Structure 1
């Protein structure tokens, strides 16, 4: 009964920032490429999910990428594929930066809304989570050359924008999906542990909503119907980090954004982001960013 209640709770928070509802694409051409750098553009990207397909294509440097319950050490050339509805996030590595392309497109762009064989046999099963595709494709992977070629071609097409480029981009994305199915033809019945996904979405949405308030392990355990000890073991297993560590990381990320973009004092920012002790905030911030909040503001203003 508790699981059903939590799933209903999840449905009630669909406007959460963790369920990203911002439209990244034009309804008439539902494909876009964003060049990003972490931590220059943002210190980290917290776990979230969206209704579009997303590809993270690492161009330079190193960082960490999490897709569902797996965390990867990302490096130049790595490709990460995130299906609609799947959790993902990025973190920087100390003294390192990572430049990457964020490629986002709606599955409807490929024709998922059509009533035809391609939609029913391939696209709709992907949307429903009935197909397993590799979350991470490295240079040594048998799929790499095909997938990278599709992404590189789309990048060039969007840069040049010659007449008919939209058709060619769609073609490249269809080739990409085709390559995925060619290498994994017998995985149509795959389904990730949906209960764990839904519970984690409830927890991270609560963090987004109340990160600046007092949040305890007991609070989060109650959200999932777990004991405190079981919740701590479960959260570390599915995210790779302790709950309190994740919460602190999120709060520090919010503080860094405020320091970079606003004029509030360090004390005000500490209080706004859930830290009730300034010296503790300064210590944790310096440990994470290897500089004080004041130095961070000066270097990133």
Structure 2
């Protein structure tokens, strides 16, 4: 899922202008969507859980998160957000460009800390819970940034940028001394190539043979590789991705059920209906009627 499509999943609440790339999206699961599929982008992302519980994965590490937890996602890291069973979750999603931290060539902070941190060469925690030694300081930085962005006093961008640097300082200074960076470079790059292909071609006919050729693996090795690293078969992942797209189209477009099935990559309507009902508990038609009546968005805390 590319960043613009990912951002379309969220209720945009832009705290900044285009010249100051710090943006917040307020999200609810399952009110807005049941999941954000595994994806990556070149921006830095932070997820702050406000209420409830959910599941977040970062580079194959899938953990339960709850109110108060924060997740730090470096540029290029694979990550997903999903509902945990029938539980609900509200979270603040912060996306900013890493260039916000870099002044230019010869910047000592960028060379020794920011660059290595963003590239994963400087190990740090992804999941930040109250058990993390620097949790209170990190949480306070985000709270103060939120208050500044709400009020926007003159020069607030200076304070926001300063607090972001403080956030990184606390993240680095409280990391475990023996916490070495963990590299999954080869499998990660292969998986990212596969997911990118799905993102760009999900509406087309995709076969196991196609994916094996793309990765230069045999058919059997590709299937084993994908299941080993993703926990499900490629066909299961592909269908789930397509269903996620279809569910969003049901909510946001006037296209017919048949058109949505085709737009999402399903060429067999009955197969689409069967998979959709298995995933969402009701038929596409029923789901659309719930959205139209407002019942699909009925839950709130």
- Alignment TM class, shorter chain as reference: 0.7 to 0.9
Checking the alignment, whether the CA contact within 8 Å between 2:24 and 2:92 is kept in structure 1 is yes
Question: How has the CA–CA distance of structure 1 residues 22 and 139 changed in structure 2, closer, same or farther, with 3 Å as cutoff?
Answer: closer
Deviation at 1:274, TM superposition (A): 2.1
Q: Which residue of 2 is the match for residue 33 of structure 1?
A: 24
Contact 2:33 / 2:248 at 8 angstroms: preserved in 1?
Answer: yes
Give me the whole-angstrom Cα distance separating, in 1, the residues matched to 2:272 and 2:5: 31
**Inter-partner Cα distance in structure 1 for 2:36 and 2:45:** 14
2:60 to 50, 61, 69: 69
Q: Which residue does 2:46 correspond to in 1?
A: 55
Q: Per the alignment, in what secondary structure is the counterpart of residue 260 of structure 1?
A: helix
SS in 1 for 2:94: strand
- Cα separation, 2, equivalents of 1:21 and 1:106: 17
Secondary structure, counterpart of 1:291 in structure 2 = coil
> C-alpha displacement at 1:107, in angstroms?
2.0
What is the distance in 2 between the residues matched to 1:212 and 1:188?
Answer: 42
1:126 CA drift (Å): 1.8
**Is there any run of 5+ residues in structure 2 with no aligned partner, and where?**
8-13, 293-301
Match of 2:139 among 141, 144, 148: 148
Note if contact 1:112-1:124 (Cα within 8 Å) is conserved in structure 2.
Answer: no
SS at match of 1:122: helix
Tell me what 2:266 maps to.
275
TM-superposition CA deviations, 1:92-134 (whole Å, max 9, x none): 2343332111111222212353522211110111233311221
Q: Residue 2 of structure 2: which of 15, 18, 29 is its match? A: 18
Q: Secondary structure at the match of 1:95?
A: coil
Sort the Cα spacing of 1:191 and 1:95 in 2 relative to 1 into closer, same or farther, 3 A: closer
- Give the 3 Å change call, closer, same or farther, for CA 140–280 of structure 1 in structure 2: same
CA positional deviation for 1:244:
1.6
d(CA) in 2 for partners of 1:151, 1:266: 42
Q: Aligned residue for 2:113? A: 122
Structure-2-length-normalised TM-score: 0.85
Range with greater deviation from structure 2 (286-295 or 219-228) = 219-228
Alignment of 1:231-242 (within 5 A): 231-242=222-233
String of CA shifts for 1:175-202, please: whole Å, max 9, x gaps: 1111121123757973522222211111
Residues 189-200 of structure 1: pairs in structure 2 closer than 5 A: 190=181, 192-200=183-191
**Cα distance between partner residues in 2 of 1:197 and 1:261:** 32
The alignment covers a number of residue pairs equal to: 285
Is the counterpart of residue 97 in structure 1 residue 88 in structure 2?
yes
Question: Aligned partners of 1:36 and 1:296: how far apart in 2?
Answer: 20
1:223 correspondence with 2:223: no
Unmatched tracts of structure 1, length 5 or more: 1-16
TM superposition outliers: structure 1 runs of 4+ over 6 Å: 21-25
